[in-house]
Structure 1
Amino acid sequence: MDRRTLLQSLAVGIPILMLSKKLSSFALPDSATRDFVEKILSGPFSPTWESLSKYETPEWFRDAKFGIWAHWGPQCQPEAGDWYAREMYMEGSWKYKYHIEKYGHPSEFGFKDVINTWKAEKWDPDELVSLYKKIGAKYFMALANHHDNLDLYQSKHQKEWNSTRQGPKKDIVRGWADAAKKHHLPFAVSVHAAHAWSWMETAQRADRHGSYAGIPYDGKLTKKDGKGKWWEGLDPQELYSQNHILSKDSQDNSTIHKQWDWGNGVTPPTDAYIHKFFNRTIDLINRYSPDMLYFDDSQLPMWPISDVGLKIAAHLYNKTIKDNGRLTGVVTGKILDEVQRKAMVWDIERGQSNNIEPLPWQTDTCIGDWHYDRGIYNRKGYKSAKTVIHTLVDVVSKNGNLMLNIPLRGDGSMDELEYKIVEEIGVWMNANGESIYATRPWKIFGEGPSLKQTTALTAQGFNEGKGLPFGAADIRFAVKGKDLFATVMGWPDQGFVLIKSLANGAVHYPEQISNVQMVSTGEKLKFERTTAGLQVHFPAERPVIFYANALKIS
């Protein structure tokens, strides 16, 4: 299938997964690859699904279980939540109204101007990463760019619109990378810029009502329009990438979700756009040597209209082999089929699997909105530490990792409500980490009432918080060597818990049980094993944090 046929197929909405097998060997014609300035390393991995499917998830990732993500960039500056750079151009939306009140009309003050106000004056990456390690994170991820298309590093191929030249005039990724290295944490970067092409199409609009009706927003401005302005000499199209016709139904704000996989009428990106994304990402990998690359994409960036995502994944894998003598790289993607899950780590956004997955996976979630939202702070709307810990324990029992975003203000600081949540997570992790780190799933992941009401994944995830809340009758299991960990998701009011899966004669645990102790204190607990289950008597005094109580059984 050639590229023209492929794009025509996507335009009529043929589902991606129906095409995936046919496209497994898809490559651009030679004439379309002349602008690949950066080169990929040769090695055991080639840029095909077949080659990448030989991938094996490195042990560091499997053992880590818990990471912290700084999903932080210029969209945090307005403190109005995620997707600000898109929704500030959506007439009548609350972010549009907020933008006008705070900055002015988007025909006069666009997102490029928001970037100019972002100074990151209180950002201290060393202090933050030190805190993340202290609370139990075993890897750290930084935002390298978002759909707003500003590179947060010294970008060779986004020379003017990067954080060393605009906004804070700092190499954000370098600051995070150096801090992670200092504190001996594997370093990850998240890359979202593949979708700027369609995501920023709202900037091409104009108001339909009011005194600004018909006056275009700043999405079509070019270099010649900057004379006498702060951005004189800069080309906004290098940032916005809007020098193209609108995608089908672009005026419908929800259409972007249907077109995330480059189908359903999206205007096909140019070769130049695709090549530039490839060059930027390879430069990012070569410059900062991340251990992990997170993509906010269905499968891989630009797939299936281009194989650049396959090239990037192969390059990262081969580079970590060259640098470390073994494969240490991790690449994540969303909505993967069975073949694709062998080639990379499946990431589930704001949700979790309902089963033990045969291959390691990750959920990514946030205690608030992805970008900092002052409204969530004002109404005290953050996830509690209890919710985070319950999610972590459940995910680990199913062979997964939790990547948690703690939103930072535009200035780079953490608010006091977040800090309290982070500290509480740290107290639990430092007391119970033995039941989390380097564990593997048991024969079953758990038992209890919560299993009776689970919610299926939607698109790339989005099922978190939709089931029954956990309680003391809910148990989650994990194993390390000969030790079985059973985490009781609450404190039993009756003073004991009955673990039915560990009854006498239980098929999953025929071995004798000689010892049960509470991980957080090391205290040995009284227990009786009957045909009804393993009855474990809890101490009279509760620990400081008692909403998840890990038991070590041997």
Structure 2
Amino acid sequence: MNTTKQSGCAILQGMKGILLFLSLVVSTTCYAQDEDLSWEALSEQYEVPQWFTDARFGVWVHWGAQSVPEYGGGWYARHMYMQDVGRETFGKNAYPYHLKTFGHPSEVGFKDVIHHWKAENFDADSLLRYFTENLGARYFMALAHHHDNFDNWDSTYQEWNSVNVGPKRDIIGEFSESAKKFGVPFGVTTHDERFFDWNLPAFGADNSGEFKDIPYDGRLTKKDGIGKWWEGFDPANLYGIPPEKRTPEWMEAWKQNWLLRMKELLTKYDPDYLWFDGRGFPYGDYGKEAFRTFYNQSLNEHGKINAVIAGKIPGGDPGIVHDIEQGVESVISAEPWQSICTYTHWFYKKDDELRHDAKSTIQLLIDVVSKNGNFVLNVELLPDGTIPPDHKVILDGFGAWLKLNGDAIYGTSPWKVHGDNLLSRLADADSKNANAANSDLSAAKRSRSKQFNNRTKDSPAYGHEEVRFTVKDDALYMFVLNPSEGEIELPSLGLNSAYRPKPIQSIRLIGSDAEVKFNQSGDTLILEVPANRPTPYAAVFQVEGALDSEQ
């Protein structure tokens, strides 16, 4: 390990809080920026860039060392140290699985799980080709680091990174280069804000059984690694120091180190997009400073802020796109927003059955876009860097539908109302569903609001008459979510409707040359859904003539 990286990690032990933070805040001239605006000034002038609102669909790869275990939920690095996971039941298999597969966490801990991650079949170009050409993704984002504090890039300030340990590859660097090659905006995601509490179980011990009271490997020191594969690495830079030794000065130094890591990530790899976890700015002003660096860089490179930051800021912030995890808005949002979705856990796991199939994810995409949102689908890679075969079947079906119907998705806007015949009820994401999405109890309680409220493949089916709308240029697109042969009535498209549609000139089913029969009266539009349709999923009709100049 080179001396630069050793000195970067040493910051955690030595530097004082206030002086270093002030130096970080004023050091943005190191990035040769022409302007250096405050976050408030940047946020006030921010407008969501056109590339984002036109894209409508993106792919995320939530992939890292925690993908190695086949069981144990998406918070494996936490739950492998917990005999009793309490209400975080999605992680109940982690400890027994780890004990059986790797050994006791007093000796074989998360650091060793990282060592097992080889990414031996990882090919960024192959994945980006599939995501863009087969799935139809218009932007792409990759996990930079999770709550586990492990950096998936060539990190100067964190020795526990994917170049030094595990794959011995710059995962973010390879994805960044590939995204540029395939011409799609590239994003990174950061989840490290929970670190202080999230990793505490690594300092515990079994409370029963043959290993009772034997400390877990979070309490090992750099000296304990002599003669072992991790010789030269300090566990304290991965897990932190024992909780009883943590001082306010140490915690400040840790946040400062996080800021250095984030500034490097956001400048070295030139992302267009940043997604962050949590319910506010990560580490308060430190997160705000990282975001400020990101937008200032974009402003000076493009002459305007051409980047996007998405996250869950309570009350909102004009500089941040509102993100809804495993959920949707109930009506059209005046501002662009984003929904993120995954099949099981965010990391690939076999603990639970698939929550989604091609049909449910297509319906989610449609519903989100009809309400002025973007839909991001997580592809849960195997630890070797390939797509699970059962997931690929679903993705292929999704991609084929989008390739056929992309004109009704990309570059579209909402109509005056997002849908008609809104009879289907959103299935509540009960605690079981919320656990499958890696939520904690507080997230489960939020499941009756926007977060964690999306429909799954097991939700009650949409009625055959329920539709969603988008518009582009002079066309109104109408999505029949769960089509069946026969007539459907759409009151919103009646000539006397409050939405003031014009007399419809023609309707065609995208992907079909068959005549579509319809009758528009004052009260309703009667549309005949054909028996023969080009896809088994949502049927998309292009309606001409219904829009007036104001639509």
Q: With structure 2 as the length reference, what TM-score do the two structures score?
A: 0.85
Distance (Å, rounded) in 1 between the aligned partners of 2:178 and 2:62: 16
**1:314 aligned residue:** 292
Matched, 1:469 2:461: yes
Matched, 1:347 2:323: yes
Q: 302, 311, 328: which one pairs with 2:306?
A: 328
**1:383 aligned residue:** 356
Matched, 1:154 2:166: no
**1:230 aligned residue:** 229
Q: What amino acid is aligned across from residue 106 of structure 2 in structure 1? A: S
1:507: how far off? 2.0
1:481: how far off? 2.0
Distance (Å, rounded) in 1 between the aligned partners of 2:425 and 2:351: 35
Q: How many residues align?
A: 499
1:413: how far off? 1.1
Instruction: Pick which of 421-430 and 444-453 moved more.
Output: 444-453
Answer whether contact 1:68 1:403 (CA < 8 A) is retained.
Answer: yes
Answer whether contact 2:465 2:483 (CA < 8 A) is retained.
Answer: no
Runs of 4+ in 1 over 6 A off after TM superposition: 266-269
- In structure 2, relative to structure 1, the CA distance for the partners of 1:269 and 1:491 (3 Å cut) is farther
Distance (Å, rounded) in 2 between the aligned partners of 1:195 and 1:269: 16
Identity of aligned residues (%): 37
1:219: how far off? 1.2
Answer whether contact 2:42 2:295 (CA < 8 A) is retained.
Answer: no
Answer whether contact 2:497 2:523 (CA < 8 A) is retained.
Answer: no
Answer whether contact 1:36 1:279 (CA < 8 A) is retained.
Answer: no
Matched, 1:525 2:520: no
**2:172 aligned residue:** 173
Answer whether contact 1:486 1:553 (CA < 8 A) is retained.
Answer: no
Alignment of 1:224-263 (within 5 A): 224-245=223-244
Matched, 1:113 2:112: yes
Alignment of 1:469-548 (within 5 A): 469-493=461-485, 495-521=486-512, 523-548=514-539
Q: What amino acid is aligned across from residue 465 of structure 1 in structure 2? A: R
Answer whether contact 2:475 2:542 (CA < 8 A) is retained.
Answer: no
Q: 48, 54, 57: which one pairs with 1:63?
A: 54
Alignment of 1:40-59 (within 5 A): 46-49=37-40, 51-59=42-50
**1:15 aligned residue:** none
Instruction: Pick which of 106-115 and 538-547 moved more.
Output: 538-547
Answer whether contact 1:491 1:549 (CA < 8 A) is retained.
Answer: no
Matched, 1:282 2:258: no
**1:39 aligned residue:** 28
Query: What secondary structure, in the 3-state scheme, does the structure 1 residue paired with 2:323 have?
Result: strand
Distance (Å, rounded) in 2 between the aligned partners of 1:224 and 1:61: 49
**2:437 aligned residue:** none
Q: What amino acid is aligned across from residue 188 of structure 1 in structure 2? A: G
Instruction: Pick which of 118-127 and 528-537 moved more.
Output: 528-537
1:98: how far off? 0.5
- CA deviations 1:319-342 (Å, max 9, x no partner) are 12222333210001114314x1x1
Q: What amino acid is aligned across from residue 296 of structure 1 in structure 2? A: D
- In structure 2, relative to structure 1, the CA distance for the partners of 1:108 and 1:166 (3 Å cut) is same
**2:4 aligned residue:** none
Answer whether contact 1:153 1:163 (CA < 8 A) is retained.
Answer: yes
1:79: how far off? 2.0
Answer whether contact 1:352 1:363 (CA < 8 A) is retained.
Answer: yes
Query: What secondary structure, in the 3-state scheme, does the structure 2 residue paired with 1:142 have?
Result: strand
Answer whether contact 1:500 1:534 (CA < 8 A) is retained.
Answer: yes
State the Cα RMSD in Å.
2.4
Matched, 1:435 2:408: yes
- In structure 2, relative to structure 1, the CA distance for the partners of 1:454 and 1:119 (3 Å cut) is closer
Query: What secondary structure, in the 3-state scheme, does the structure 1 residue paired with 2:508 have?
Result: strand
1:177: how far off? 0.9
Matched, 1:183 2:182: yes
Q: What amino acid is aligned across from residue 151 of structure 2 in structure 1? A: D
Distance (Å, rounded) in 1 between the aligned partners of 2:362 and 2:185: 22
Distance (Å, rounded) in 1 between the aligned partners of 2:514 and 2:295: 44
Distance (Å, rounded) in 1 between the aligned partners of 2:34 and 2:18: 22
Matched, 1:409 2:382: yes
Q: 362, 373, 394: which one pairs with 1:421?
A: 394
Matched, 1:368 2:359: no
Distance (Å, rounded) in 2 between the aligned partners of 1:117 and 1:551: 51
Alignment of 1:269-308 (within 5 A): 270-303=251-284, 307-308=285-286
Distance (Å, rounded) in 2 between the aligned partners of 1:187 and 1:197: 29
Distance (Å, rounded) in 1 between the aligned partners of 2:412 and 2:99: 51
Distance (Å, rounded) in 2 between the aligned partners of 1:63 and 1:56: 14
Distance (Å, rounded) in 2 between the aligned partners of 1:98 and 1:274: 33
- CA deviations 1:239-269 (Å, max 9, x no partner) are 112343399xxxxxxxxxxxxxxxxxx9997
**1:144 aligned residue:** 144
- CA deviations 1:508-535 (Å, max 9, x no partner) are 1332211111123365522100233111
Distance (Å, rounded) in 2 between the aligned partners of 1:48 and 1:443: 34
Q: With structure 1 as the length reference, what TM-score do the two structures score?
A: 0.85
Query: What secondary structure, in the 3-state scheme, does the structure 2 residue paired with 1:96 have?
Result: helix
Instruction: Pick which of 532-541 and 105-114 moved more.
Output: 532-541
Query: What secondary structure, in the 3-state scheme, does the structure 2 residue paired with 1:33 have?
Result: helix
Query: What secondary structure, in the 3-state scheme, does the structure 2 residue paired with 1:53 have?
Result: helix
Q: What amino acid is aligned across from residue 308 of structure 2 in structure 1? A: V
**1:8 aligned residue:** none
1:375: how far off? 3.8
Q: What amino acid is aligned across from residue 310 of structure 1 in structure 2? A: K
Distance (Å, rounded) in 1 between the aligned partners of 2:508 and 2:345: 38
Q: What amino acid is aligned across from residue 49 of structure 2 in structure 1? A: P
- In structure 2, relative to structure 1, the CA distance for the partners of 1:118 and 1:31 (3 Å cut) is closer
- In structure 2, relative to structure 1, the CA distance for the partners of 1:114 and 1:29 (3 Å cut) is closer
Query: What secondary structure, in the 3-state scheme, does the structure 2 residue paired with 1:507 have?
Result: coil
Instruction: Pick which of 213-222 and 451-460 moved more.
Output: 451-460
Query: What secondary structure, in the 3-state scheme, does the structure 1 residue paired with 2:211 have?
Result: coil
1:230: how far off? 1.2
Q: What amino acid is aligned across from residue 309 of structure 1 in structure 2? A: G
- In structure 2, relative to structure 1, the CA distance for the partners of 1:55 and 1:346 (3 Å cut) is same
**1:448 aligned residue:** 421
1:172: how far off? 0.4
- In structure 2, relative to structure 1, the CA distance for the partners of 1:426 and 1:510 (3 Å cut) is closer
Query: What secondary structure, in the 3-state scheme, does the structure 2 residue paired with 1:314 have?
Result: helix
**1:96 aligned residue:** 95
- CA deviations 1:256-285 (Å, max 9, x no partner) are xxxxxxxxxx99971111111111011011
Distance (Å, rounded) in 2 between the aligned partners of 1:471 and 1:535: 16
- CA deviations 1:108-167 (Å, max 9, x no partner) are 100001101110001111111100112211111111111111111111111x21100100
Q: What amino acid is aligned across from residue 383 of structure 2 in structure 1? A: G
Identify unmatched segments of 5+ residues in structure 2. Answer: 1-16, 85-91, 429-445, 546-551
Distance (Å, rounded) in 2 between the aligned partners of 1:392 and 1:298: 24
Query: What secondary structure, in the 3-state scheme, does the structure 1 residue paired with 2:234 have?
Result: coil
- In structure 2, relative to structure 1, the CA distance for the partners of 1:352 and 1:532 (3 Å cut) is same
- In structure 2, relative to structure 1, the CA distance for the partners of 1:108 and 1:283 (3 Å cut) is same
1:308: how far off? 1.6
**2:218 aligned residue:** 219
1:452: how far off? 5.4
Q: What amino acid is aligned across from residue 377 of structure 2 in structure 1? A: L
